[in-house]
Structure 1
Amino acid sequence: MLQRIYDWVDERMDITPLWRDIADHEVPEHVNPAHHFSAFIYCFGGLTFFVTVIQILSGMFLTMYYVPDIINAYESVYYLQSEVAFGAIVRAMHHWGASVVIVMMFLHTLRVFFTGAYKKPRELNWVVGVLIFFVMLGLGLTGYLLPWDMKAYFATVVALEIMETVPIIGESLRTLLQGGEIVGAQTLARFFAIHVFFLPGALLGLLAAHFIMIRRQGISGPL
């Protein structure tokens, strides 16, 4: 059935050459676990992407039930966990995935650094990877407030106070994110918009650039 659908689409869109150009490429011997035990360190990038996909899919599910205002936010999260089928599981996946993706990305960054994969001609890809890392940190910060419980509230207050100490732009940055004199309705609305729209858009653009450069430059050689 799937083959028939693929053939029908391919007959009209000619997608096979495009798919082969993306999927059919030679993998270097040093990233093959059958030949080199150390090849496992090259899996961190793929694992990071896999967890990122889980975060996106689980986040899309959560937004179907989440209400981004200070009156209903906590209640909507409680309803999701207690009443929605598999809601608690999906929220747990999203919650723990936020930590796992940072760990995987940190390990991937260490691998790139210690194997010298950031050197010419991959300097720009290293810069893009660092930007992705900061976007992920931003997603973690903005997502932490959304349950709107006491822990999330006071953790965000502390984070904004720390942010205010940044030279030159700190005060303006806090005002932009906080949206008022206190952490309140405007803060929650802004964090939700940044978490769901702005940062995911930036993330998808950076990931596309990251993968295009990997595809053109190939996987870096061994140390």
Structure 2
Amino acid sequence: MLQRLYDWVDERLDITPIWRDVADHEVPEHVNPAHHFSAFVYCFGGLTFFIIVIQFLSGMFLTMYYVPDIVNAYESVKYLQGEVAFGMIVRGMHHWGASLVIVMVFLHTLRVFFTGAYKKPRELNWVVGVLMFFILMGLGFTGYLLPWDMKAYFATVVGLQMAESVPIIGTLIKTLLSGDPEIVGAQTLTRFFAIHVFFLPAALLGLMAVHFIMIRRQGIAGPL
């Protein structure tokens, strides 16, 4: 049945050449675990992408129940965990995935650095990867406040104080994030939710597209 559906779509849109162009390409021998055990280190990038996909999917599920205001935020998270089928599992995946993706990005970055894959002609892709790392850090920071419990509240207060300590533009950064230079309140939660759900994911998707296009154009870097 799936083959019939594929043939029906392919007859109208001619998707086979596009699919082959994306999927059919040679993989260098040094990244084949069947030939080199060290090739497993080349899996960190793919694992990072896999975890990011899980974060997107689980986050989309969480937004169906989350209420981004200081009156209902905590109760909505509590309801999600206690009343919604598989809610605790999905939130756990999102929670632990936020930490695991940072670990995988760090390991991927180490592999790129120690194999010299950041050198010419891949310098720009290295810069894009570093920007993606900062965006993932921002996603972790903005998402931490959303449960609106005491731990999240005071951790955000400390984080905003650190942002304020940045020379010259520190106060501006804090005000932009919190909405109120004096307290962490309703505006802060709303802004963190918007940044976490809309702005940073959009930036991350754009950079990932650029990252993958450059990898496809330049190929996988050679061995050390």
**TM-score, structure 1 as length reference:** 0.99
1:167 positional shift: 1.2
What is the correspondence of 1:106-125 to structure 2 with a 5 Å cutoff? 106-125=106-125
Aligned to 1:217: 218
Aligned to 1:143: 143
Q: Deviations over 1:106-165 (max 9, x none)?
A: 000000000000000000000000000000000000000000000000000000001111
**What is the CA–CA distance in structure 2 between the aligned matches of 1:3 and 1:95, rounded to whole Å?**
38
Aligned to 2:206: 205
**What is the CA–CA distance in structure 2 between the aligned matches of 1:147 and 1:21, rounded to whole Å?**
43
**What is the CA–CA distance in structure 2 between the aligned matches of 1:67 and 1:155, rounded to whole Å?**
20
Aligned to 1:185: 186
Aligned to 1:32: 32
**What is the CA–CA distance in structure 1 between the aligned matches of 2:110 and 2:145, rounded to whole Å?**
29
Amino acid at match of 2:156: T
Count of aligned positions:
223
Specify the SS of the correspondent of 2:84: coil
Amino acid at match of 1:139: L
Q: Deviations over 1:145-191 (max 9, x none)?
A: 00000000000000000111111211100010010120000000000
The answer for unaligned runs of 5 or more in structure 2 is none
Aligned to 1:23: 23
Aligned to 1:91: 91
Identity %: 84
**What is the CA–CA distance in structure 1 between the aligned matches of 2:198 and 2:178, rounded to whole Å?**
17
Amino acid at match of 2:55: Q
Aligned to 1:162: 162
Aligned to 1:53: 53
CA RMSD of aligned residues (A): 0.4
Aligned to 2:11: 11
Specify the SS of the correspondent of 1:71: coil
**What is the CA–CA distance in structure 2 between the aligned matches of 1:173 and 1:93, rounded to whole Å?**
30
1:4 positional shift: 1.0
Q: Deviations over 1:38-84 (max 9, x none)?
A: 00000000000000000000000000000000000000000000000
Aligned to 2:79: 79
Aligned to 2:128: 128
**What is the CA–CA distance in structure 2 between the aligned matches of 1:72 and 1:11, rounded to whole Å?**
51
**TM-score, structure 2 as length reference:** 0.99
1:194 and 2:195 correspond: yes
Specify the SS of the correspondent of 1:118: coil
Amino acid at match of 1:213: M
Amino acid at match of 1:71: V
Amino acid at match of 2:194: A
**What is the CA–CA distance in structure 2 between the aligned matches of 1:42 and 1:90, rounded to whole Å?**
28
Structure 1 stretches of 4+ moved >6 Å: none
**What is the CA–CA distance in structure 2 between the aligned matches of 1:62 and 1:190, rounded to whole Å?**
17
